[in-house]
Amino acid sequence: MKNRVYNFAAGPSMLADKVLNELHEEFFNYHDSGMAVMEMSHRSKGYLEIFEDAKARLKRIMEIPDDYEIFFMHGGATAQFAAVPMNLLKKKADYIITGNFSRKAAQEASKYGEVNIVYDGKENDYSRIPSSEELSLSEDADYVHLCSNNTIYGTEWKKYPDTGTIPLIADMSSDILSRRIDVSDFGLIYAGAQKNIGIAGIAVVIIRKDLIIEADPMTPQIMDYALTLKNDSMLNTPSTYAIYVLGKVLKWIEEVGGIKEIERRNIEKAGLLYDYLDSQSFYQPHAEKDSRSLMNVTFRTANEELDAKFVSETAKLGLCNLKGHRLVKGIRASIYNAMPIEGVKKLVEFMDEFARENG
């Protein structure tokens, strides 16, 4: 494909060329139906095949055990900030705050019940993930909530806390399918699709069946897990095209060698950036070493003027959207699954040049 840039945006973000090509090929006439996917009834046989295929691929790739359900829900990850407590918070829930999105999740949950903040990384500017010893978990919480990868700050959990019989709930919006995880460590996983697994419009929810219990009576139908199960994620019209794109991304993951190969690539890509960052002193990484994200690499130069110059010069070279989030400033390279290693190599080369010219 011509004139494509390397898009380092935090989300919505890049899709693999292979995925875009398939969407393009099938755009006007999906499998001889004479229709575009976005024109198809969600109840039609053709569309139901797309839907079931996406679910089956996700189950296969993530090795989701049989005692879990997969939902495709509306409202992105943000809707799940409310859906999780409305369905599961009966008395009290523990929230671990390692960045902006986990803070938002806790704020939303506090509308529906008692929220116990068991850790807040504010004083280290969310530059690291806490150890288990730093978490004062309750013994009687309905669940423990964390954010697996902190998109804005560039930190990621390497080892999840052991919460015993208390269900662990993770927002994996920015690192789902980036590395192998054991789904059975979690009671519930949710993720907005537009960062690592598709486009905006759906959240994927993976929930252990015993956690599908009676929701708070005020829960909107569309956020009710039991009703979502009963209607197989089609209580109303689902985001048909976003689910189709998810299926294409999952197909691509299987074709390149599954999650193991994706993880290998992600370690290699992030390694190039972190090795370079560790070899010099012009740029300062934001995240502490043992908490570094494979997906969002955050760093800064000596001042904001140089950061801005970096961002504008990279954009001219087709390395786009490297500006850091306003909460952290500096520079952020989001290198999700679809970012080719060539893009990262080009970025590292430029970083070195820029450091020589401006150091």
Ligand X SMILES: *Cc1c(COP(=O)(O)O)cnc(C)c1O
CA nearest to 196, candidates 51, 18, 339:
339
Shortest distance (Å) from residue 188 CB to ligand X: 14
Note whether 69 binds ligand X by CB under 6 A. no
Nearer to ligand X, 72 or 276 (CB): 72
Note whether 192 binds ligand X by CB under 6 A. yes
Shortest distance (Å) from residue 105 CB to ligand X: 8
SS3 string, 249-307, reads: HHHHHHHHCHHHHHHHHHHHHHHHHHHHHHCCCCCEECCCHHHECCCEEEEECCCHHHH
At 118, is the secondary structure helix, strand, or coil?
strand
Nearer to ligand X, 155 or 301 (CB): 155
CA–CA separation, 185 and 94 (whole Å): 16
Question: One-letter amino acid identity for 258?
Answer: G
Nearer to ligand X, 201 or 276 (CB): 201
Residue 117 parent element (H or E): strand 114-120
> Which positions ≥6 away from 77 have C-beta within 8 Å?
101, 171, 173, 190, 191, 192, 203
Note whether 174 binds ligand X by CB under 6 A. yes
Angle between helices 45-62 and 258-278 (to 10 degrees): 60
Nearer to ligand X, 71 or 101 (CB): 101
Nearer to ligand X, 30 or 336 (CB): 336
Nearer to ligand X, 47 or 153 (CB): 153
CA–CA separation, 222 and 239 (whole Å): 13
| Residue 222, both tokens | 């569309």
Shortest distance (Å) from residue 81 CB to ligand X: 8
- How far is residue 332 from each of residues 153, 204, 276, 350, 358, measured CA to CA in Å? 9, 25, 15, 14, 19
DSSP structural state of residue 154: T
Q: What is the chain's length?
A: 359
Angle between helices 240-256 and 258-278 (to 10 degrees): 80
Shortest distance (Å) from residue 304 CB to ligand X: 24
* Residues 85 to 104 in contact with ligand X, rule: CB under 6 A: 101
Choosing from 14, 72, 76, 252, the residue that interacts with ligand X (CB under 6 A) is 76
What string marks each residue from 134 to 173 as x (binds ligand X by CB under 6 A) or -? -------------x---x-------------------x-x
Choosing from 26, 64, 78, 216, the residue that interacts with ligand X (CB under 6 A) is 78
Nearer to ligand X, 173 or 239 (CB): 173
Nearer to ligand X, 195 or 300 (CB): 195
Choosing from 77, 176, 177, 351, the residue that interacts with ligand X (CB under 6 A) is 77
Shortest distance (Å) from residue 203 CB to ligand X: 6
Q: Of the ranges 76-84, 106-114, 238-246, 323-331, which one interacts with ligand X (CB under 6 A)?
A: 76-84
Q: Which residue ranges make up the site for ligand X (CB under 6 A)?
A: 11, 76-78, 101, 147, 151, 171, 173-174, 192, 195
